[in-house]
Structure 1
Amino acid sequence: MQALPLLALALCALQLCPAVLGGKGHQRKRMQVGSFSWQNCGGGQDPAVIRSMSIQPDPINIPGDITVSIAGATSVTMRSPLAGDVVLEKQLGGGSWIKVPCVDNIGTCKYDDLCDILDRAIPPGTPCPEPLRSYGIPCHCPFKAGSYALPTCSFYIPNLDLPSWLTNGNYRFQVVLSNGGYQIACLKLTLSLQSN
């Protein structure tokens, strides 16, 4: 199994990057650990779906250490322009959910090309950051069709300098990846964040 350019894509759910993907014909899957859960939302028709994902701790502490594992596959090459449509909602005290608007590319945002965003975050020619480098996972488009896995690994999330109203609480994300108007993947995540 090849290593996945996943971390670079999957943590967009945390507005750090977009999602990882898995193969055509797989059933919708859902996994829940505490308040963290994930679900492929393409109705089994997308060429890319996640097969497994775990994130610890729950809630995620910012700043703090996070442990992630993820596996998936894609039957198509993901290339530029890789559009991303992110819907971010926060749970209010009474249990209802409100959509977080797109402010400075954080929130409910449309991204014309996530490949370009990756190139700006990690300039081409520079080494991919850890843990991607250790597992031989590329951090630039195109991401070739195939099966991918990021074994359990830990890394540090620095203080993201987000407003306090955005860091503490329960969140729902839906991330849809597409190329040329063709949907490649859809992922829903629910998680909790706690600012230290």
Structure 2
Amino acid sequence: MCRKMMFNLAVIVLCANGYLGYTPFRLTDCTSSPNRVVTVSGRLLDHPVRIPGHVRAPTTVVIHRPVNSGIRLDVTVEKFIFFDYFALPCVSRVGSCSYDACELLGRYDNKCPGQLRDSSFPCTCPFRDGEYNLQAFPFNVPNVRGPWSFLAYGDFRVTGRLVNITSGEEVNCYSVEFTVQSAAISSPWSLWDCEVRLYTAIGSLSSLLLDPSATSPPVINMQHIVCFVAALSLASATLKFQLHECHTQNPILHLSNPHLSADPVHIPGPETGDVDVQILRPVDGSYTLDVHVQTHVLFGFVDVPCISNLGSCSYDLCGILSGQQFNNTHHCPLEIAASSPDFPCACPFDAGNYHLNPTTFQIPELSGLLKWLASGDYKVHFTIKNTRTSEVVACYDVQFTTAADCSGISCLFGRKRVSKRNAFGVAFTVDI
């Protein structure tokens, strides 16, 4: 039994340790159409790609027939996460997006980057047929900040497909695989360094497990132990539901006495809540709601980008509270209309004191990338701003934990978490 447990642990450790290795650069022609537009060959001289840094990519492009317009570029960006590649969403026209190829290149307005000009390499439509060679000039890779910084490092696969907009025929397909790494470590105790130390220790232990007779002991020091303890303690953090009001000079509302029946919030599942709302003056259509969402990932909180109008997004307040889809007195969801008939849900709002009685909502199951984020600790900062004066008239911080029928990477594989009891009656959970 002990031997089997050691073997299973070794396999898990090897999988985790293997993730530290990087994918060799690979350019693959996946074109199946006989009517291809271009043929591309090239290599990456600076690999892994380092951020910030530079890359040199000598490339030869053969254009088989003139390209004027009518070509769509479909891009799929995938990131390797433990055992497989998973597609990243299209956020702010970055990621797995579709573009009009000539419109996308039109931003250069016949002013190509110097590296392309010096190679006589065209970068805007129309393209004449012929062979073009990009020399090994360095391109600057800037630092990545904001929501994408969390996803900037790792192994990637990017697939680009050219589609004839008129006929719908895919005329070209290329896939490129590469690795992106951080250019530098700022200090011996940076978070990136701590992760490297942690995986190094795991790798050393895996070697010992696979070969107990090895004479060289694993290289593990106090820094490895500190990083490991920090990872366990931070990864297991759980936030109790709390709502705090930030200071504002001229608030338009007050929220108080909020309660949730289930803490942590279960996704999917029912959640019952109630709250007191005091509206200090009338609210019309001149306000915006800005939401900043962060989730806890191992060593700290990272920003959640705005995906499908969910996450760190900005909204027109009365736009999302129009209530047009609800045909009742206060244009409320049926759950609120049944529990709190006098509670207003749609603009405009009159000044007054309102109470939302305990109301049960059914939280639906999430899908795609959002499903991976269904379980974890969250902090949400939201503000309401007067668009006429730019004054912040409401500010709140919320923290809470969500739980799901799956956890982390198992959500992406469709596995579920179930509760069981052992022979001694002790409860535990497993992913199946």
Once the two structures are overlaid, the 10-residue window that deviates more, 125-134 or 68-77, is 125-134
**Cα deviation 1:64-87 (Å, max 9, x = unaligned):** 110101002121111113201100
Write the distance in 1 (CA, Å) between the matches of 2:248 and 2:385. 15
Aligned counterpart, 1:98? 302
Aligned counterpart, 2:337? 133
Aligned counterpart, 2:376? 169
Deviation at 1:108, TM superposition (A): 1.1
Task: Structure 1 unaligned segments of length 5 or more: list them.
Answer: 1-33
Does structure 1 conserve the Cα–Cα contact (< 8 Å) formed by 2:292 and 2:382? yes
Counting matched residue pairs gives 160
More strand by share: 1
Matched, 1:116 2:326: no
Aligned counterpart, 1:36? 241
Write the distance in 2 (CA, Å) between the matches of 1:138 and 1:47. 15
Aligned counterpart, 1:153? 359
Deviation at 1:56, TM superposition (A): 2.4
Deviation at 1:154, TM superposition (A): 1.9
**Matched position secondary structure for 2:334:** coil
Runs of 4 or more off by more than 6 Å in structure 1? none
Write the distance in 1 (CA, Å) between the matches of 2:347 and 2:266. 30
**Cα deviation 1:157-180 (Å, max 9, x = unaligned):** 122436232211000001101223
> Which protein, 1 or 2, shows the higher relative CO under an 8 Å CA cutoff with sep ≥ 6?
1
Aligned counterpart, 1:9? none
Task: Structure 2 unaligned segments of length 5 or more: list them.
Answer: 1-238, 406-432
Write the distance in 2 (CA, Å) between the matches of 1:184 and 1:67. 28
**Matched position secondary structure for 1:164:** helix
Aligned counterpart, 2:20? none
Tell me which amino acid in the other structure corresponds to 1:188: D
Tell me which amino acid in the other structure corresponds to 2:349: F
Matched, 1:80 2:289: no
**Matched position secondary structure for 2:337:** coil
Aligned counterpart, 1:11? none
Identity among equivalent pairs (%): 28
Once the two structures are overlaid, the 10-residue window that deviates more, 35-44 or 61-70, is 35-44
What TM-score results when the alignment is normalised by the length of structure 2? 0.35
Does structure 1 conserve the Cα–Cα contact (< 8 Å) formed by 2:296 and 2:378? yes
Does structure 2 conserve the Cα–Cα contact (< 8 Å) formed by 1:52 and 1:72? no
What TM-score results when the alignment is normalised by the length of structure 1? 0.73
Does structure 2 conserve the Cα–Cα contact (< 8 Å) formed by 1:49 and 1:186? no
When the two chains are superposed, the root-mean-square deviation of aligned CA atoms in Å is 2.1
Write the distance in 2 (CA, Å) between the matches of 1:85 and 1:125. 24
Write the distance in 1 (CA, Å) between the matches of 2:247 and 2:265. 26
Tell me which amino acid in the other structure corresponds to 2:298: G
Write the distance in 2 (CA, Å) between the matches of 1:82 and 1:147. 20
